[in-house]
């Protein structure tokens, strides 16, 4: 079996006495889509942020493509070019238009030529369906459009893997669909991705593996069919059941 693209070995993180991550181990194969889910405060976002070094941890090891994630600034920067991240609140650069948001990192960090970066950037905006909005500032775009620009921005560095931190939690239902469509398209084209989300339908549809976390631990990691239909965990059945039942009567 080939080496996983992202390997987490026995990762632990504490905030003071509070154990945010408790000996987490996780493997993400190249070209696969892993969905992290679980209740709020379960540590799924923290785990995701460890994967590109946005969070530090106390014990264990994370490696991307066989290279351990070190916290030395220079190594971290190299790693981050290989792992793209999409945030819940988009975090677009508000002073730059959509195209410049996408091309800034390739130009400044990747030292690509402006024309070349802009060509690639336009292709990416086209891929997320926003070629016509290239010169608009983030403030003039809807939430869904902003998040799609953020996805294009993350793709512009040609990362080996993409991390999504609740990419649709700040969006209205219509925008959720347009963003999920883009993510599904990426998953189908074989992009390696780890997605923290509460969208269970999406998880079932695209995930190769669903990881359920609670209180800093992985409760279950399995394929979607097993996870949604045949799980033996009461905790997960409870979680899924609450979601299904909410507001239904």
C-alpha 77/C-alpha 80 separation (Å) is: 5
- Contact residues for 129 (Cβ-Cβ < 8 A; gap 6+): 148, 178, 182
Q: Is residue 52 a contact point for another protein (CB under 8 A)?
A: yes
Q: Which of 134, 49, 143, 136 is nearest to 89 (CA)?
A: 143
Q: Tell which one of 67, 126, 135, 241 touches another protein (CB under 8 A).
A: 135
DSSP string, 90-106: ----TTS-HHHHHHHHH
Question: Using the rule CB under 8 A, is 238 a contact of another protein?
Answer: no
What minimum distance in Å lies between the beta carbon of 139 and another protein?
Answer: 10
Q: What is the rounded distance in angstroms from the CA atom of residue 8 to the CA atom of residue 27?
A: 6
- Residues 90-99: b if buried by 16+ CB within 10 A, e if exposed: bebeeeebbb
Residue 38 vs 159, nearer CB to another protein: 159
Give 80 or 187: the residue with its C-beta nearer to another protein: 80
Least distance in Å: CB of 147 to another protein? 12
Q: Which of residues 53-112 bind another protein (CB under 8 A)?
A: 54, 73, 77-78, 80-81, 83-85, 87, 89, 91-97, 100, 104-105, 107-110
User: Does 148 contact another protein by CB under 8 A?
Assistant: no
DSSP class of residue 139? G
- End-to-end CA distance of the chain: give it in Å, rounded: 48
Q: Which is nearer to another protein, 21 or 83 (CB)?
A: 83
Q: Which residues of the shown chain bind another protein in the complex (CB under 8 A)?
A: 52, 54, 73, 77-78, 80-81, 83-85, 87, 89, 91-97, 100, 104-105, 107-110, 114, 135, 137, 150, 153-154, 157
């Amino acid at each position: 079996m080939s080496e996983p693209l992202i390997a987490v070995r026995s990762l632990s993180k504490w905030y003071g006495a509070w154990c945010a991550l408790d000996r987490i181990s996780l493997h993400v194969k190249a070209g696969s889509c892993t969905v992290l889910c679980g209740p709020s405060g379960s540590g799924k976002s923290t785990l995701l942020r460890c994967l590109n070094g946005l969070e530090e941890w106390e014990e264990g090891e994370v490696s991307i493509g066989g290279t351990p994630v070190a916290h030395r600034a220079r190594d971290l920067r190299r790693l981050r070019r290989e792992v793209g991240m999409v945030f819940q609140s988009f975090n677009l650069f508000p002073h730059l238009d959509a195209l410049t948001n996408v091309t800034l990192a390739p130009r400044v960090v990747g030292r690509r030529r402006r024309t070349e970066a802009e060509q690639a950037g336009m292709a990416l905006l086209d891929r997320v369906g926003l070629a016509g909005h290239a010169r608009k500032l983030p403030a003039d775009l809807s939430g869904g459009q902003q998040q799609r620009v953020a996805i294009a921005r993350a793709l512009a560095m040609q990362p080996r893997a993409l991390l999504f931190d609740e990419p649709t939690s700040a969006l209205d239902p219509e925008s959720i669909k347009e963003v999920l469509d883009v993510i599904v398209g990426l998953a189908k084209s074989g992009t390696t991705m780890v997605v923290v989300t509460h969208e269970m339908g999406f998880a079932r549809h695209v995930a190769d593996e669903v990881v359920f976390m609670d209180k800093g631990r992985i409760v279950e990691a399995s394929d979607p069919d097993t996870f949604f239909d045949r799980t033996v965990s009461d905790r997960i059945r409870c979680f899924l059941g609450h979601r299904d039942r909410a507001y239904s009567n």
